[in-house]
Amino acid sequence: MTKLDILHFPDKRLRTKAVDIDVIDDAIRLLIDNMFETMYDAPGIGLAATQVNFHKRLIVIDISEEKNEPLCLINPVITHQEGIEVMEEGCLSVPGFYGDVERAESITVKALDRQGEPFELTTDDLLAVCIQHEIDHLNGKLFVDYLSPMKRNRIRKKIGRMEKETAEQNTHRSSTL
Protein backbone atom coordinates (compact mmCIF):
# COMPACT_ATOMS: atom_id res chain seq x y z
CA MET A 1 0.00 0.00 0.00
CA THR A 2 1.07 3.55 -0.59
CA LYS A 3 0.75 6.62 1.55
CA LEU A 4 -0.50 9.53 -0.52
CA ASP A 5 0.51 13.21 -0.28
CA ILE A 6 -2.13 15.50 1.19
CA LEU A 7 -2.63 18.92 -0.43
CA HIS A 8 -2.53 21.91 1.91
CA PHE A 9 -4.60 25.11 1.93
CA PRO A 10 -4.33 27.43 0.00
CA ASP A 11 -3.51 24.99 -2.83
CA LYS A 12 -5.89 25.79 -5.72
CA ARG A 13 -6.41 22.08 -6.46
CA LEU A 14 -8.41 21.84 -3.21
CA ARG A 15 -10.98 24.06 -4.97
CA THR A 16 -11.71 21.47 -7.69
CA LYS A 17 -15.26 20.11 -7.82
CA ALA A 18 -15.06 16.31 -7.92
CA VAL A 19 -17.13 14.32 -10.41
CA ASP A 20 -19.18 11.16 -9.78
CA ILE A 21 -17.49 7.77 -10.11
CA ASP A 22 -19.26 5.64 -12.72
CA VAL A 23 -17.22 2.42 -12.56
CA ILE A 24 -15.98 1.05 -9.23
CA ASP A 25 -13.10 -1.14 -10.36
CA ASP A 26 -9.92 -2.50 -8.77
CA ALA A 27 -8.09 0.77 -9.45
CA ILE A 28 -10.69 2.63 -7.37
CA ARG A 29 -10.51 -0.02 -4.64
CA LEU A 30 -6.71 0.35 -4.55
CA LEU A 31 -7.14 4.12 -4.19
CA ILE A 32 -9.62 3.50 -1.34
CA ASP A 33 -7.06 1.28 0.46
CA ASN A 34 -4.35 3.89 0.00
CA MET A 35 -6.65 6.64 1.25
CA PHE A 36 -7.41 4.62 4.40
CA GLU A 37 -3.68 4.08 4.96
CA THR A 38 -3.02 7.80 4.47
CA MET A 39 -5.86 8.76 6.83
CA TYR A 40 -4.84 6.32 9.60
CA ASP A 41 -1.21 7.36 9.30
CA ALA A 42 -1.94 11.12 9.44
CA PRO A 43 -3.84 10.47 11.78
CA GLY A 44 -7.28 11.75 10.85
CA ILE A 45 -10.90 10.63 11.12
CA GLY A 46 -11.75 11.29 7.47
CA LEU A 47 -10.21 11.94 4.07
CA ALA A 48 -11.73 13.08 0.78
CA ALA A 49 -10.21 12.11 -2.57
CA THR A 50 -9.84 15.83 -3.38
CA GLN A 51 -7.23 16.10 -0.60
CA VAL A 52 -4.99 13.57 -2.36
CA ASN A 53 -5.48 15.30 -5.72
CA PHE A 54 -7.96 12.77 -7.13
CA HIS A 55 -11.06 14.62 -8.22
CA LYS A 56 -13.76 11.96 -8.03
CA ARG A 57 -16.52 11.70 -5.42
CA LEU A 58 -15.03 9.36 -2.85
CA ILE A 59 -14.51 9.72 0.90
CA VAL A 60 -13.16 7.46 3.64
CA ILE A 61 -13.96 7.85 7.34
CA ASP A 62 -13.22 6.11 10.63
CA ILE A 63 -14.30 7.91 13.79
CA SER A 64 -13.85 4.85 16.07
CA GLU A 65 -11.33 4.89 18.95
CA GLU A 66 -9.88 1.56 17.88
CA LYS A 67 -9.60 2.60 14.24
CA ASN A 68 -11.44 -0.54 13.19
CA GLU A 69 -14.64 0.84 11.68
CA PRO A 70 -13.68 1.93 8.17
CA LEU A 71 -16.47 3.60 6.24
CA CYS A 72 -16.21 4.34 2.53
CA LEU A 73 -18.73 6.51 0.70
CA ILE A 74 -18.76 6.79 -3.07
CA ASN A 75 -20.91 9.47 -4.75
CA PRO A 76 -22.38 10.51 -1.37
CA VAL A 77 -25.55 12.63 -1.38
CA ILE A 78 -27.22 14.14 1.68
CA THR A 79 -30.92 13.44 1.29
CA HIS A 80 -32.14 14.85 4.59
CA GLN A 81 -30.79 17.14 7.27
CA GLU A 82 -32.10 18.47 10.55
CA GLY A 83 -31.06 20.84 13.30
CA ILE A 84 -27.95 22.96 13.74
CA GLU A 85 -24.82 22.15 15.69
CA VAL A 86 -21.51 23.94 16.20
CA MET A 87 -18.35 21.88 16.53
CA GLU A 88 -14.67 22.75 16.52
CA GLU A 89 -13.17 21.31 13.34
CA GLY A 90 -9.70 20.62 12.06
CA CYS A 91 -8.52 19.43 8.67
CA LEU A 92 -5.54 17.50 7.38
CA SER A 93 -5.32 20.08 4.59
CA VAL A 94 -5.12 22.92 7.15
CA PRO A 95 -2.62 21.39 9.59
CA GLY A 96 -2.46 22.86 13.10
CA PHE A 97 -5.55 25.07 12.87
CA TYR A 98 -9.02 24.68 14.35
CA GLY A 99 -12.24 26.62 14.18
CA ASP A 100 -15.92 26.45 15.06
CA VAL A 101 -18.21 25.49 12.20
CA GLU A 102 -22.01 25.40 12.17
CA ARG A 103 -23.50 22.40 10.37
CA ALA A 104 -26.62 20.26 10.31
CA GLU A 105 -26.98 18.25 13.51
CA SER A 106 -28.31 15.07 11.95
CA ILE A 107 -28.19 13.91 8.35
CA THR A 108 -29.25 11.08 6.10
CA VAL A 109 -26.75 10.28 3.37
CA LYS A 110 -27.00 7.82 0.52
CA ALA A 111 -23.88 6.48 -1.20
CA LEU A 112 -22.30 3.42 -2.81
CA ASP A 113 -19.94 1.13 -0.90
CA ARG A 114 -16.66 -0.27 -2.29
CA GLN A 115 -18.57 -3.04 -4.07
CA GLY A 116 -20.85 -0.50 -5.71
CA GLU A 117 -23.81 -1.44 -3.51
CA PRO A 118 -26.06 1.48 -2.57
CA PHE A 119 -26.67 2.14 1.12
CA GLU A 120 -28.22 4.80 3.30
CA LEU A 121 -27.07 6.06 6.68
CA THR A 122 -28.76 8.34 9.20
CA THR A 123 -26.43 9.74 11.82
CA ASP A 124 -25.56 12.68 14.06
CA ASP A 125 -22.72 14.01 16.24
CA LEU A 126 -19.14 13.63 15.03
CA LEU A 127 -19.96 11.25 12.16
CA ALA A 128 -22.53 13.69 10.74
CA VAL A 129 -20.05 16.56 11.04
CA CYS A 130 -17.30 14.50 9.43
CA ILE A 131 -19.47 13.43 6.46
CA GLN A 132 -20.48 17.06 5.84
CA HIS A 133 -16.84 18.17 6.12
CA GLU A 134 -15.75 15.53 3.57
CA ILE A 135 -18.58 16.26 1.12
CA ASP A 136 -17.53 19.93 1.32
CA HIS A 137 -14.04 18.84 0.17
CA LEU A 138 -15.59 17.12 -2.89
CA ASN A 139 -17.23 20.45 -3.70
CA GLY A 140 -13.98 22.39 -3.32
CA LYS A 141 -14.91 23.84 0.04
CA LEU A 142 -12.82 23.94 3.24
CA PHE A 143 -13.80 24.54 6.87
CA VAL A 144 -11.78 27.79 6.85
CA ASP A 145 -14.34 29.17 4.37
CA TYR A 146 -16.78 29.35 7.31
CA LEU A 147 -14.37 31.47 9.38
CA SER A 148 -13.99 35.25 9.13
CA PRO A 149 -11.80 36.50 6.24
CA MET A 150 -9.36 37.81 8.85
CA LYS A 151 -8.93 34.40 10.51
CA ARG A 152 -8.67 32.71 7.11
CA ASN A 153 -5.93 35.11 5.99
CA ARG A 154 -4.01 34.61 9.22
CA ILE A 155 -4.13 30.84 8.70
CA ARG A 156 -3.07 31.20 5.05
CA LYS A 157 -0.03 33.29 6.01
CA LYS A 158 1.02 30.99 8.85
CA ILE A 159 0.77 27.89 6.67
CA GLY A 160 2.68 29.72 3.92
CA ARG A 161 5.51 30.49 6.36
CA MET A 162 5.52 26.91 7.71
CA GLU A 163 5.74 25.40 4.21
CA LYS A 164 8.52 27.81 3.24
CA GLU A 165 10.50 26.69 6.32
CA THR A 166 9.93 23.02 5.51
CA ALA A 167 11.06 23.60 1.93
CA GLU A 168 14.23 25.31 3.17
CA GLN A 169 14.93 22.49 5.62
CA ASN A 170 14.51 19.96 2.82
CA THR A 171 16.88 21.90 0.57
CA HIS A 172 19.41 22.03 3.39
CA ARG A 173 19.05 18.32 4.09
CA SER A 174 19.55 17.31 0.47
CA SER A 175 22.62 19.56 0.13
CA THR A 176 24.25 18.14 3.28
CA LEU A 177 23.60 14.44 2.56
**Catalytic residue positions?**
134
From 73, 130, 147, 159, residue interacting with ligand GNR (rule: CB under 6 A): 130
Measured from the CB of residue 176, what is the shortest distance to ligand GNR in angstroms? 33
Distance (Å, whole) CA 73 – CA 32: 10
Site string for Ni ion, 58-97 (x = CB under 5 A): ---------------------------------x------
46 binding ligand GNR? (CB under 6 A): yes
Residues 9/93, Cβ–Cβ less than 8 Å = yes
Measured from the CB of residue 130, what is the shortest distance to ligand GNR in angstroms? 5
Measured from the CB of residue 93, what is the shortest distance to Ni ion in angstroms? 5
Residues 73/27, Cβ–Cβ less than 8 Å = no
Q: Which of ligand GNR, Ni ion, none is residue 130 near (CB under 5 to 8 Å by kind)?
A: ligand GNR
- Cα–Cα nearest to 108, from 119, 121, 126, 117: 121
- Would you say 33 or 85 has its CB closer to ligand GNR? 85
49 binding Ni ion? (CB under 5 A): no
24 binding Ni ion? (CB under 5 A): no
Distance (Å, whole) CA 173 – CA 165: 12
| Size of the residue set binding ligand GNR (CB under 6 A) | 16
Distance (Å, whole) CA 137 – CA 160: 20
CA-based radius of gyration for the chain: 17
Distance (Å, whole) CA 14 – CA 86: 24
Distance (Å, whole) CA 89 – CA 97: 9
Judged by DSSP in three states, 36 sits in helix
112 binding ligand GNR? (CB under 6 A): no
Q: Which stretch binds ligand GNR (CB under 6 A): 21-29, 64-72, 87-95, 164-172?
A: 87-95
Positions touching ligand GNR (CB under 6 A) are: 44-48, 51, 89-93, 129-130, 133-134, 137
